[in-house]
Amino acid sequence: MERILHKILVPIDFSVNSKNALLYSSSLAQPFQAELHLLYVIEPVIYSPDFSMGQITLPSIDTQEIEARSREELQKLIKTQLPETLPSRITVRIGKPFSEIIDYARQENIDLIVISSHGHSSVEHILFGSTSEKVVKKAPCPVLTLREPLKGFNYKEQLTAS
């Protein structure tokens, strides 16, 4: 059988849902020995003190420090959630999450994106839209969206199997 999955992208925001998506992705990747790509996106803060000026970006608190801590947390996830034999890679980017996820998938020739759906309230959805929805619409590859609870998948079993 030809290997159809070589690279799986899992956007991580450190929520329980995104960590569960990582576990699910691990179970998908293992039979193919696909490489898991964990991507965390730091979204810059936009502030508009005066509407006549438009939006301005606040100076970052310390982007390098945030990036370094993000990388450490991603490494912890790899060590605690994934089998040692499963190839994995971490990346931290700055920007709009949906845009960075799509760009990364294109640049790295990703075969599948596995993303959790958080289920925001209808007001939040109208105002901000959904990152996962935007990724589904614009991704260069198939996207698997996961909504909690995931029928038939036992996260505890997956953790002990890793």
Strand 35-42 to strand 88-94: parallel, antiparallel, or no bridges (unpaired)? parallel
Q: What is the mean pLDDT of the chain?
A: 82
Q: What percent of the chain has pLDDT over 90?
A: 57
DSSP secondary structure string for all residues of 125-137: HHHH--HHHHHHH
CA distance 80 to 72: 12
Q: What percent of the chain has pLDDT over 70?
A: 72
Residue 154 in this model has a pLDDT that exceeds 90: no
Residue 95 in this model has a pLDDT that exceeds 60: yes
- Nearest CA to 145 among 38, 18, 14, 5? 18
Alpha-carbon dihedral 103, 150, 81, 19, rounded to 10 degrees: 50
Cα radius of gyration rounded to whole Å, the chain: 17
pTM of the model: 0.81
**61 — pLDDT class (breaks 50, 70, 90):** low
pLDDT greater at residue 143 or residue 62: 143
**130 — pLDDT class (breaks 50, 70, 90):** confident
